[in-house]
Structure 1
Amino acid sequence: MADAQGDDLAESLQSLFTNVSSMVKSELQGTNNQMDLLEKMNVRVAAEYDDLGDVAAGLRVFAEQMKLKSGGFDEFVGQMDAIEKQVSEFEAVVSVLERYVSVLESNIRA
């Protein structure tokens, strides 16, 4: 009878160790799967950042080209400022002439 109880105990312990081993193996496999997923996500994010780096480099080149093109407009902007100043001076002269003509008209009528 002691042998039968010992065999039952041995079988129970063997079953316990087998089940614990299966549980630990499953936990490790789950952790391994999570690590694989994390690695794949990191690879994907790295690829996205590479793409964004390419876009940023393209935008930098575009901005430099626009800066060079806008530099050619500086001369024209200076010319437009000079024209605007001349127009303002011309308007001032016209205003003075209008007042003078109004005074002359008043004197002629008087």
Structure 2
Amino acid sequence: GTGNLLQLLEKMNLKVAEEYQNFGDIASGLRVFVEQLKAKNGSFHEYVQQIDSIERQVTEFEAIISMLDNYVRLLETK
């Protein structure tokens, strides 16, 4: 009776301890994954800044081209 219950309780405790160990392993893996994502996000942020800068330059070039186009039209009418 009592011996069997103690054995069952011991097996259950070992199983629970094993599960918690697995959770710890999963948590460690997730921590590494999150750190990798943070590093990639930092790199990605640099590219986004470069794209924003290029977009601003293109907008400026478009404005200059529009002004030059208007100037050429003005010269053509003379």
Measured on the aligned residues, the alpha-carbon RMSD in Å equals: 2.2
Would you say 1:67 and 2:37 are equivalent positions?
A: no
**What is the 5 A alignment of 1:1-110?**
16-82=1-67, 83=69, 85=70
For structure 1, list consecutive stretches of 5 or more residues without a partner in the other structure: 1-15, 94-110
Residues 17-66 of structure 1: CA distance to partner in whole angstroms, max 9, x if unpaired? 22111100000001001100011111111111111111111110111122
Mapped partners of 2:13, 2:37: distance in 1 = 36
Task: Compute the displacement of 1:86 (Å).
Answer: 5.9
What is the identity percentage for the equivalent residue pairs of Structure 1 and Structure 2? 8
For structure 2, list consecutive stretches of 5 or more residues without a partner in the other structure: none
1:57 alignment partner AA? G
Instruction: Please list every run of at least 4 consecutive aligned residues from structure 1 whose deviation after the TM superposition is greater than 4 angstroms.
Output: none
Task: Compute the displacement of 1:76 (Å).
Answer: 1.2
Mapped partners of 2:10, 2:39: distance in 1 = 43
Please tell me whether Structure 1 or Structure 2 has the larger radius of gyration of its CA atoms: 1
Q: How many residues align?
A: 74
Structure 2 counterpart SS, 1:51? helix
User: What's the TM-score once normalised by structure 2's chain length?
Assistant: 0.76
